[in-house]
Amino acid sequence: MTYQDLISSWSTFSNNIHAFSQQLGLDRLELECDHTALRVNSNQSADQLRQAFAKVGNIISDNMINGRPILIIELDTPLMMGSTAIECVELPYPGEKTYPQEGWEHIELVLDCGATDCDTLAQALLEKAPQLAPVLAGDTDVKVKMSSPKGDKERLANPTIAFKKNGLCVKIHSHGIKAVIASEAE
pLDDT given at position 133: 97
Domain that holds residue 130: 3-184
Q: Are 88 and 59 in contact (CB under 8 A)?
A: no
pLDDT 10s digits, 67-85: 889 999 999 999 999 889 9
Q: What integer best gives the mean pLDDT of the chain?
A: 91
Count of domains observed in the chain:
1
Residue 184 has, within 13 A of its CA and on its CB side, a CA count of 16
pLDDT surpassing 60 at residue 153: no
Q: Is the pLDDT of residue 135 over 90?
A: yes
Confidence of residue 149 (pLDDT cuts 50, 70, 90): low
pLDDT tens string 165-183: 999 999 999 988 888 888 7
What is the pLDDT at residue 51?
Answer: 96
Distance of CA 158 to the CA centre of its chain: 12
Dist. CA 133–CA 47, nearest whole Å:
41
pLDDT for the residue 163 = 98
What is the band of 15 on the pLDDT scale with cuts at 50, 70, 90?
Answer: very high
Residues ≥6 apart with Cβ < 8 Å to 50: 59, 71, 91
- Return the pLDDT at 104: 96
- For position 47, what pLDDT does the model report? 96
**Sign of the CA dihedral with 26 first, then 30, 32, and 38 last:** positive
Which pLDDT does position 39 carry in this prediction? Answer: 93
What phi and psi values does residue 124 have, to the nearest 5 degrees? -65, -40
The domain that contains 74 carries what CATH number?
Answer: 3.10.180.10
Q: Model confidence at 114, in pLDDT bands (50, 70, 90)?
A: confident
User: What value does the mean pLDDT take over residues 81-103?
Assistant: 89
